[in-house]
Structures are given as C-alpha cells and as structure tokens.
Amino acid sequence: MVINARITGTGSCVPSRVVSNHDLAKILNTSDEWIYQRSGIRERRHVDAGVAPSDLGAEAALKAIDAANLKPGDIDLLLVTTLSSEHTFPGTAAFIQRKLNLGTIPALDLRAQCSGFLYGLATARAFINSSQYRRVLLVSVEVQSRGLDFSDRGRDTAVLFGDGAGAVVIEQSSDVERGIMAVNLHSEGEHAEKLWVEYPSMAQSPHVSPEIVAEGGVFPKMDGKFVFKHAVSRLPEVVEETLNQLHLKSRDIDWWLFHQANLRINEHVAGLLNLPLAQCPSNIDRYGNCSSASIPILLDELVREGRVSSGQLLGMAAFGSGFTWGGAIVRW
C-alpha cells in the first residue's frame, strides 16, 4: 500500500482585539503610512490579559479536529511550532495537550521560527510515511505582543508582529492522488543574530538581569534590510527547488501561500517567479506577521471561504529567523 500524508482538517484562532496602525501611532513614533507602505500591514491582533498561547492553539486545534471529522482522542501525535513559547520549559505542546485532553500521546515543540509550519509539515509527513503515527495534529501558535518593545527603540519590530494560531490535522491515507507531495527545508545559522531575541540566554551569565531587561535585551532585534534581501532570494530558490522536484511549473499551482512577513517581500517574490498576485492570497493587512502561524491561518481562511477545491495544487513557502526557510507543494 502506498502511504500518503494528507491534510484532512484546518482551523485557526486569532484574538478579538484589533490593534490598528493608528493605535500604535498613539504610543510610538510611527504612522499608518510608514507601516503600510513598507509592509502592507494595517492592523494586527493582540491577546487580552489572561489569554495564553495554549488557549489560541487549543481553539485552532479543536476546529481542525472537527473539520477532519475526528475527536481529540483520535490524534496520536501532537506537534507545536512556536517562537513565543508559553514558558521556557516545558514546551507549549504540553499545555495544549492538557487543554485538549490528549492523554499520553507524544507532544513536542519544534523551533524553526517563521518557517515552523513547514518544518512541522515535513516532520508530520515523515512520521506518517514511516507508519509510526497515523493522525498528527500540527498547531502553529504565536503570542508575540507580550514580547515586543512598544517604545521608540523597538518600533521597527513592534509594528510588524501579531498574535494568532493555525492548526491542521494530517492523516495517513492511501489516496495517492492527494496529499503533501514535497517539502524542502533549509537553514543557515550563520545569520542567527540578524533576527533574534538574545535574552534570557543560557550562553550568558547572568542569563538575564534587571539591567539586561532595562536595556531591551529581552526584545527582538532585527537587521530589517538584511532579512529582506535574504528572504527575496531564498524564497524563489526554494519554490523552484520544490517545483523542479515534482517536474511542475509555477503555472501548475493554483494557490501560493507565502509566509505573511511583509507584503512587499511577497510581491517581489511573485514578480521574480511571474506568479499572478490573484493566486497569492494575503491577510497580512489584518493580522501582521504571525510567524509560524501565518501560513496555517491563511490556509484555513482559504478553505473555509470555499476557495480551495479538491485536486488543486497549493504551493507554500516561508522564510524566517535562524535563518530558516522552506517550501512545500500539497495536492488538496
């Protein structure tokens, strides 16, 4: 029997609180015009007090499980991708597992930042293809608003990131026509410090201190132009690699789901690859950059709007801190 890994359900959850560029301009030296022109973002969602990453993740997961016509007890592996973990340890997967009453199935976090969903897809597919697990729940969740620097010092990153969660159920299937057809992953640790949060750091003593906090060492630091330059070269590269692997052309793909880091990056990439923008849906204007949750939230929106039909080909690509990047092609 040919074993295939197929996405059978999607779900997402974003906080209800909308924070517009105008709201940020009241607390930061920024403007709607500056943010929108450079990133395509108009607003993002921020969690309210008392809401944890695992709350968003569990809600997205329940929707995905329901869409797959399953019950939580049917899942046999939980994978969680996040760069905004609920605690240093255990991983956020432990908290989502508890909220979903997933018993004693394995639950683990994968850390690949904005490429996390694609790393998760590859990991789920490998476990399914080896027949070790048959029904994998992949949850990508980010609560970034609590870790951003909302002073002028952090304005280059604080305006870009948002909170949200997306989830998929991936099942073993003997349907050879449909499923995750290819996933390619890459990373380049040489550029780790170009987009990172340095502290708390187990490489440093003290690993964090009041002085480090006061100096902003616990907030993200980014060399925006450097990240932009690498993203617009690595994304087309991995798209071509994935298309070539399956002997496909870009015109064969029905929908392109790119990581929602910056609309300008995606427009640039679409231009280089000659992709019609109408086939590159975007929600960055509403949610900002939700890191690993961006692609699964976008996927869930497309699916629930009835825009993806059976047999269509979906191309996905992401780039992020690490650097990490990846591409995937899925037959729906």
CA angle at 94 for the pair 88 and 98, rounded to the nearest 5°: 140
Q: Which residue, 41 or 67, has its beta carbon nearer to ligand COA?
A: 41
Q: Give the C-alpha distances (Å, rounded to integers) separating 202 from 11, 199, 205, 311, 321.
A: 35, 8, 7, 47, 19
Least distance from ligand COA to the Cβ atom of residue 164, Å:
14
Least distance from ligand COA to the Cβ atom of residue 27, Å:
11
Least distance from ligand COA to the Cβ atom of residue 30, Å:
3
From 228, 256, 287, 332, residue interacting with ligand COA (rule: CB under 6 A): 228
By the rule CB under 6 A, 147 interacts with ligand COA: no
Any idea which residue has 């949060």 for tokens? 197
Gap between the Cα atoms of 231 and 113, Å rounded: 14
Query: What are phi and psi for residue 228, nearest 5 degrees?
Result: -55, -50
Gap between the Cα atoms of 10 and 54, Å rounded: 17
Least distance from ligand COA to the Cβ atom of residue 23, Å:
13
Any idea which residue has 């969660």 for tokens? 165
- Kindly state the number of chain residues that form the binding site for ligand COA, as judged by CB under 6 A: 19
From 63, 155, 194, 230, residue interacting with ligand COA (rule: CB under 6 A): 155
Residues 6+ away with beta carbon under 8 Å from 169: 7, 8, 9, 10, 64, 65, 67, 68, 70, 75, 135, 136, 137, 138
By the rule CB under 6 A, 249 interacts with ligand COA: no
Q: Which residue, 8 or 294, has its beta carbon nearer to ligand COA?
A: 294
On whether the CB atoms of residues 332 and 309 are closer than 8 A, the answer is yes
By the rule CB under 6 A, 114 interacts with ligand COA: yes
Task: Say whether 184 is catalytic.
Answer: no
Gap between the Cα atoms of 107 and 77, Å rounded: 6
| Annotated catalytic residue, options 46, 259, 262, 280 | 259
Gap between the Cα atoms of 332 and 329, Å rounded: 10
How would DSSP label each residue in 190-228? GGGGGEEE--S-TTSSSSS-HHHHHTTTTSEEE-HHHHH
Task: Say whether 84 sits in a helix, a strand or coil.
Answer: coil
Task: Say whether 114 is catalytic.
Answer: yes
Question: From residue 16 to residue 55, what is the string marking binding to ligand COA with x (rule CB under 6 A)?
Answer: --------------x---xx--xx----------------
| Annotated catalytic residue, options 4, 262, 266, 289 | 289
Task: Say whether 268 is catalytic.
Answer: no
From 224, 237, 245, 250, residue interacting with ligand COA (rule: CB under 6 A): 224
Least distance from ligand COA to the Cβ atom of residue 142, Å:
11
Q: Which residue, 4 or 157, has its beta carbon nearer to ligand COA?
A: 157
Sign of CA dihedral 319, 320, 325, 326: negative
By the rule CB under 6 A, 247 interacts with ligand COA: no
Task: Say whether 276 sits in a helix, a strand or coil.
Answer: coil
Residues 253-312 that bind ligand COA (CB under 6 A): 261-262, 265, 289
By the rule CB under 6 A, 156 interacts with ligand COA: yes
Closest CB to ligand COA: residue number: 224
From 2, 130, 225, 247, residue interacting with ligand COA (rule: CB under 6 A): 225
Any idea which residue has 């975007």 for tokens? 282
Least distance from ligand COA to the Cβ atom of residue 161, Å:
8
Q: What is the binding site for ligand COA (CB under 6 A)?
A: 30, 34-35, 38-39, 114, 155-156, 159, 222, 224-225, 227-228, 261-262, 265, 289, 320
Positions marked active-site: 114, 259, 289
